Amino acid sequence: MTHAQGGPVSDNPADDRFRSIVEAIPNAIVLVDRERRIRLVNRKAEELFGYAREDLLGAAVETLIPARFQAGHPRHVDDFFARPETRAMGAGRDLFGRRKNGEEVPIEIGLSPIDTAEGLCTLAAIIDITERKRAQERFELVVEASPSAMIMIDAARRIRLVNRRAEEMFGYARAEFLGQPIEMLVPERYRAGHPGHVATFSGRPEARPMGAGRELFGLRKDGSEMPVEIGLTPIDAPDGHYVVASIIDITERRRSEDELRRSNAELEQFAYVASHDLQEPLRMVANYTELLAQRYAGQIDERADKYIRYASDGARRMQRLVADLLAYSRVGSQGKPLMPVEADQVLQAVTHALQRLLRESGGIVESDPLPRVQADEGQLHQLLQNLIANAIKFRSEAPPRVRISARPQGHRWLFQVSDNGIGIDMQYAQRVFQMFQRLHELGRYEGSGIGLAIAKRIVERHGGTIWIDSVPGQGSTVSFTLPPARTEGALAP
Looking at residues 92-102, what average pLDDT do you find? 87
Contact 402, 364 (CB under 8 A): yes
pLDDT of residue 414: 95
pLDDT tens-digit map of 141-199 = 888 989 999 999 988 899 999 999 999 999 999 999 999 999 999 999 888 888 888 78
Looking at residues 421-441, what average pLDDT do you find? 70
pLDDT at 11 over 80: no
User: Which of the pair, 209 or 200, is modelled with greater confidence?
Assistant: 200
pLDDT at 72 over 80: yes
Task: Give CATH superfamily name and number for 134-252.
Answer: PAS domain (3.30.450.20)
Asked if the domains at 17-130 and 134-252 fall in one CATH topology, the answer is yes
Q: What's the sign of the alpha-carbon dihedral 283, 284, 290, 293?
A: negative
Residue 136 banded pLDDT, cuts 50, 70, 90: confident
pLDDT at 261 over 80: no
CATH 1.10.3210.10 fits 17-130, yes or no: no
pLDDT tens-digit map of 314-368 = 887 777 777 777 777 677 666 788 999 999 999 999 999 999 989 988 999 999 9
Domain boundaries, the chain: 17-130, 134-252, 335-486
pLDDT of residue 489: 35
Q: What residue type is assigned to position 444 of the chain?
A: R
Annotation: CATH topology of 335-486:
Heat Shock Protein 90 (3.30.565)
Q: What's the sign of the alpha-carbon dihedral 479, 481, 487, 492?
A: positive
Looking at residues 213-218, what average pLDDT do you find? 79
Query: What global pTM score does this model have?
Result: 0.47
Neighbours of 458 (CB within 10 A): 27
Please tell me the number of Cα atoms within 13 Å of 200 on its side-chain side.
Answer: 10
Q: Which has the closest alpha carbon to 206: 231, 233, 236, 245?
A: 233
pLDDT of residue 423: 83
Contact 318, 282 (CB under 8 A): yes
pLDDT tens-digit map of 462-485 = 989 999 998 888 889 999 999 998
Looking at residues 220-248, what average pLDDT do you find? 88
- Quote the DSSP letter at residue 493: -
pLDDT at 92 over 60: no
pLDDT tens-digit map of 414-428 = 999 999 988 887 877
Percent of the chain at pLDDT exceeding 90: 39
Backbone angles phi and psi of 131, in degrees to 5? -65, -40
Average pLDDT value for the chain = 83
Q: Helix axis angle, 451-461 relative to 377-393, nearest 10°?
A: 150
In terms of phi and psi (left: phi > 0; alpha: psi -120 to 50; beta: otherwise), the region of 58 is left
pLDDT of residue 214: 67
Q: Which range is least confidently modeled, 59-63, 67-71, 236-240, 305-309?
A: 236-240
pLDDT at 453 over 80: yes
